[in-house]
Structure 1
Amino acid sequence: MKKMLVLALVAMSFASCQQSSSSAADTADSTGTQISSAMAATDAPVMSFETINYDFGKVKEGEKVQYEFKFTNTGKSPLIISDATATCGCTVPEPPKDPIKPGASAVIKVVFDTMGKAGLQDKVVTITSNGNPSINDVHLTGEVVPAS
């Protein structure tokens, strides 16, 4: 019984050594071919924003704040935005649906409905893409003054 337990531990140790011996920087593409993540990162699309924070100042409660976050794909392959979500339902992002070619610019339109949102605000929009990094955040900040 002890021999079987020792044999099992040795087999598990050997298996874990085999897995860690492959480079952590290597990944497989959709065809199963090994590619270097360092190479993939240099060819990846990159979202470069003109600004990641828009301060809308003071607005009256009930107004809608709109802003377009402009960005450029400064990477070497097409940028595809898979999702854009906000911290609450009062903020609605509208990302581009088509891929953005390297060197091209686009906008993510964001509309914030201030109804029932009096006080200081920081609305975060999280953008998920095939870029490097794959997640980017932009902010709408300002103060909503109660309607009188």
Structure 2
Amino acid sequence: MKKVILGLTALCLMAMTSCKDNAAAKIDETNVTAAAERDANASDFPVLEFDKTEHDFGEVIAKTPVETVFKYKNTGNAPLVITDIKSSCGCTVPQDWSREPLAPGESGEFTVKFNGSGANKVSKSITVTANTEKGTEVVKISAFVKADPTKS
């Protein structure tokens, strides 16, 4: 039994050391250059910078629609692609953003509509999914929703 284990160990060692000689010869310099360039570009991300990250509507009457515009700019070194914008509830609707890539230095915007749901102080978050380093960015809206005085 010891001879079989010793023989298998010797065979494995020979197989592993014989591969080392051929591995260096198989490296293609053009592949190394392409990989280095790809890795250098992989660290370039777009940066999504907003003109404001929070908007307060102040006092609104219940069920009264209000809206605001969030403006943003790509301050990074790669094209920015926004794939989705979602709110934390159905009473807040983000819309009108570009699905096209935004080059570095260019600006864009999206609208957020809020229908005045809830009561008292209300806060909602809007999550922007993009190809930034973090992958998501968050902006917020808030309002103080008052009851409609004509409906008692």
**TM-score (normalizing by structure 1):** 0.70
State the 1:40 CA deviation.
2.4
Where does residue 61 of structure 1 map in the other structure? 62
State the 1:65 CA deviation.
1.6
Where does residue 4 of structure 1 map in the other structure? none
Cα separation, 2, equivalents of 1:113 and 1:97: 25
Question: Per-residue displacement from partner, 1:94-138 (whole Å, max 9, x unpaired)?
Answer: 132221111001012110111x42211111000100112210000
Where does residue 140 of structure 1 map in the other structure? 141
Q: Which has the higher strand share?
A: 1
Cα separation, 1, equivalents of 2:124 and 2:147: 18
RMSD: 1.7
Q: Which has the higher helix share?
A: 2
How many residues align structurally? 113
Question: Per-residue displacement from partner, 1:40-81 (whole Å, max 9, x unpaired)?
Answer: 23x111100111000111111121120111110001111101
Cα separation, 2, equivalents of 1:40 and 1:112: 38
Report which of the two structures shows the higher radius of gyration computed on alpha carbons. Answer: 2
- Asked if structure 2 preserves the Cα contact closer than 8 Å seen for 1:46 and 1:133, the reply is no
Match of 1:109 among 108, 111, 123: 111
State the 1:39 CA deviation.
5.3
Aligned-pair identity (%): 35
Structure 2, unpaired ranges of 5+: 1-34
**TM-score (normalizing by structure 2):** 0.69
1:95-106 matches, within 5 Å, as 95-106=97-108
